[in-house]
Amino acid sequence: MADARAGIAAAVHAGRAGAQRGVVVRALEVMLSLGAQVRDISALLGPAVSGRNYEVPAAMADEVEAALPGSRTTTAAGTPGVDLRAGIACQLRDLGVESIDVDPRCTVADPTLFSHRRDAPTGRFASLVWME
């Protein structure tokens, strides 16, 4: 997330547990405390496991949905799933962030990206944030 006008940016890893615990909300709060304005913040949600491929037990899908509305989904296999990017995008919109872009690539489906679900036990994935 970034507010280019204020010169404030945040790189946030929001996996399931962190997203449930409000890591994105907390990062936004810190940005605002440093002088960012919600109307000037833009967000990019990077590659992640898609809802079509993020299978979880039904109870977990319900728990994530309770904390992150808009995240519960059904996978391509017809099982309960979670779409973190959809839930985070809803959360950001509810908080007033209007400029939200989503990289649609799925880390499970795209072999050029590391996926712990596909390639465990180890691999590397990096993201960069810079402002010009």
DSSP per residue, the chain: -EETTTTEE------HHHHHTTHHHHHHHHHHHTT--GGG-EEEE--B--TTT-B--HHHHHHHHHHSTT-EEE-TTSSEEE-HHHHHHHHHHHTT--EEEE---BTTT-TTS--HHHHTT-----------
Q: What pLDDT score does 16 carry?
A: 95
pLDDT of residue 126: 77
Q: Over the chain (132 residues), what is each successive 10-residue block's mean pLDDT?
A: 97 95 98 98 96 98 98 98 98 98 95 80 77 80
Q: For residue 120, tell me if it sits in a domain.
A: no
Q: Identify the domain containing residue 26 by its residue range.
A: 2-112
Predicted pLDDT of residue 127: 79
* pLDDT for position 117: 76
pTM of the complete model: 0.92
Residue 121 belongs to a domain: no
On whether residue 97 sits in a domain, the answer given is yes
In a domain, residue 123? The reply is no
CATH of the domain at 62: 3.60.140.10
